[in-house]
Chains A and B, each alone.
Chain A
Amino acid sequence: DAGVIQSPRHEVTEMGQEVTLRCKPISGHDYLFWYRQTMMRGLELLIYFNNNVPIDDSGMPEDRFSAKMPNASFSTLKIQPSEPRDSAVYFCASSLHNPADEQFFGPGTRLTVL
């Protein structure tokens, strides 16, 4: 398996623009997670899905953030409108059958909002 795949790897956009980050989890994994990593706040869990259903989105910072998982092999994290403080590295991860077991991380998307 190729592991968790994220695209794009880098995104530079201007404030106010819509940003969509994409993730393909490892095949057969039941859980998918979106994290944000910054120097100030470290690694933060934004939302996670079980079998394509959002389970906990309490980490989503604002209504500007939304995430979807239309099928078992694809998820998106959307920011609309984007702001400079959204600049961070966004990671997608997946785990097999338990959300608190080993998670496999993608390489991340480095987002810069100017």
Chain B
Amino acid sequence: AQSVTQLDSHVSVSEGTPVLLRCNYSSSYSPSLFWYVQHPNKGLQLLLKYTSAATLVKGINGFEAEFKKSETSFHLTKPSAHMSDAAEYFCVVSDWAGANNLFFGTGTRLTVIP
């Protein structure tokens, strides 16, 4: 069975400090994993995706995530937070079997303090 757990519902960082948003997944198959970002009053936008190629995935806006099979994790990081990074972030796992096998995490709200 597929599932995804975002370990923190809210993360607060100071501008210019590193960002870490945690995601653990469970999957019976080799999963595809995604991070989406949702800014206030906007739709979700893809940040990056992992599909069994390189385990370190680089995305837009300086974000990256590392797929760690042994830890079943896919944490999202950024070296230096910017005010514009304040948003909701969703970790998503799929097993490519169909849209009803696309599992969204509950989201992590990132606050960036000036």
Contact = CB atoms under 8 A, between A and B. Distances in A.
Nearest to B49: A102
Interface string B30-44: 001010100001111
A112 to B, nearest CB: 14
A4 interface: yes
Contacts of B56: none
A105 B95 CA distance: 20
Contact of A100 (B42, B44, B98): B98
B10 to A, nearest CB: 13
B99 A100 contact: yes
A9 to B, nearest CB: 9
A42 B104 contact: yes
Nearest to B97: A100
Nearest to B93: A100
Given A100-B32, A102-B34, A45 B43 contact: no
Contacts, number: 60
Nearest to A32: B99
B100 interface: yes
A106 B41 CA distance: 11
Given A33-B99, A42-B106, A100-B98, A107 B34 contact: no
A108 B43 contact: yes
20 contacts: A4-B43, A31-B99, A42-B106, A43-B104, A48-B99, A56-B98, A56-B99, A91-B44, A98-B96, A99-B102, A100-B98, A100-B102, A101-B96, A102-B49, A105-B36, A106-B43, A107-B42, A107-B43, A108-B43, A110-B41
Interface of B: 32, 34, 36, 41-46, 49, 90, 94-102, 104, 106-107
Interface of A: 4, 31, 33, 42-43, 45, 48, 55-56, 58-59, 91, 93, 98-108, 110
